[in-house]
Structure 1
Amino acid sequence: MSTFTFNWIIACIAMVLSFLFSIINNTFFTSMIRSLIAFILFFTIGFGIRWLLHIALKDIDVNPNKDSDNKGAYVDMTTPEDDQIPQLSFSESEKDNLDPKKMALFMRKYSED
């Protein structure tokens, strides 16, 4: 079903319901005008809602190798290998006598990467 057909059906239903509820308390001419206004409003609002849904649900191509306007849309969630992670390697004697200045220097150096 196309957008036009869907909007046409929704607007016609709104027009009929508006006419039926309006004819009880109003004249025929007033009820027709109000139902026509309801038709126009529902028809245009239907287009707006379907357009917004189309924009919101549009598929985004998330290919990290392709240069496009989707920069920042791809996040690499893989974990680094063990050889890429900096390791603190101290001998048993150094573990007891850790220098706070050396530790601070180490942390500053690897926190910048």
Structure 2
Amino acid sequence: MAGKMLFNWLFGGVGLILTFLVSSSHNLFITSLIRSLIAFVIWFLLAFAIRWMLGLSKADPVSLEERASGSEEAEKGLRVDLTTPDEQEAINDMLKPSGTKASENSQGTAAFEPLKPPRLVKTADRDPEELAKAVRHLTED
């Protein structure tokens, strides 16, 4: 346990020194010392939290008896398969040029047609007085 506590003491000491160096340039000596001691306690407790999280990550989730029995139920979910299936053929098929338009239509997929938006049509000429009223109405608001 002494080796583990040494990590906490060193971690707290680093926090104390850093806080004292930063705080001493702007505060009185006693204020810097008090803030450094508070930082030491916080960093010391933070080291406990870090050690606890590292301990959880290293902990073996399955006990030795369960491994010895060889039950498949106990081993489910312990390992992750990070390999992906080989999709090289599917990629090559996508890159190949597709057949003629007739073959596409026979398969049920429509051939490409560009979008034809409706054209803006000019309405009949308006009365100039009516246009002036509209402009005045818009400028008043």
- 1:65 alignment partner, one of 69, 88, 104: 69
Deviation track 1:89-113 (CA, whole Å, cap 9, x = no partner) reads xxxxxxxxxxxxxxxxxxxxxxxxx
Shift of 1:73: 4.5
Deviation track 1:8-30 (CA, whole Å, cap 9, x = no partner) reads 01111110111111110001111
Quick one: percent identity of the two aligned structures?
34
Shift of 1:33: 1.0
Residues of 2 paired with 1:25 and 1:73: CA distance? 54
Shift of 1:71: 6.5
Residues 12/74 of structure 1: CA separation in 2 closer, same or farther (3 Å cut): closer
Q: Residue 29 of structure 1 aligns with which residue?
A: 30
8 A Cα contact 1:14 1:35, kept in partner: yes
Residues of 2 paired with 1:40 and 1:66: CA distance? 46
Q: CA RMSD in A?
A: 2.7
* TM score, norm. by length of structure 2: 0.45
Residues 75-94 of structure 1 mapped to structure 2, 5 A cutoff: none
Deviation track 1:36-75 (CA, whole Å, cap 9, x = no partner) reads 11100000011011111101221233627267xx464568
Aligned length: 74
Structure with the larger RCO, 1 or 2 (CA within 8 Å, 6+ apart):
1
Residues of 1 paired with 2:67 and 2:75: CA distance? 10
Shift of 1:6: 0.5
Residues 22/64 of structure 1: CA separation in 2 closer, same or farther (3 Å cut): same
Residues 28/56 of structure 1: CA separation in 2 closer, same or farther (3 Å cut): same
Residues of 1 paired with 2:53 and 2:78: CA distance? 24
8 A Cα contact 1:63 1:74, kept in partner: no
Q: Residue 49 of structure 2 aligns with which residue?
A: 48
Q: Which runs of 5+ in 2 are unaligned?
A: 80-141
Q: Which runs of 5+ in 1 are unaligned?
A: 76-113
Shift of 1:31: 0.2
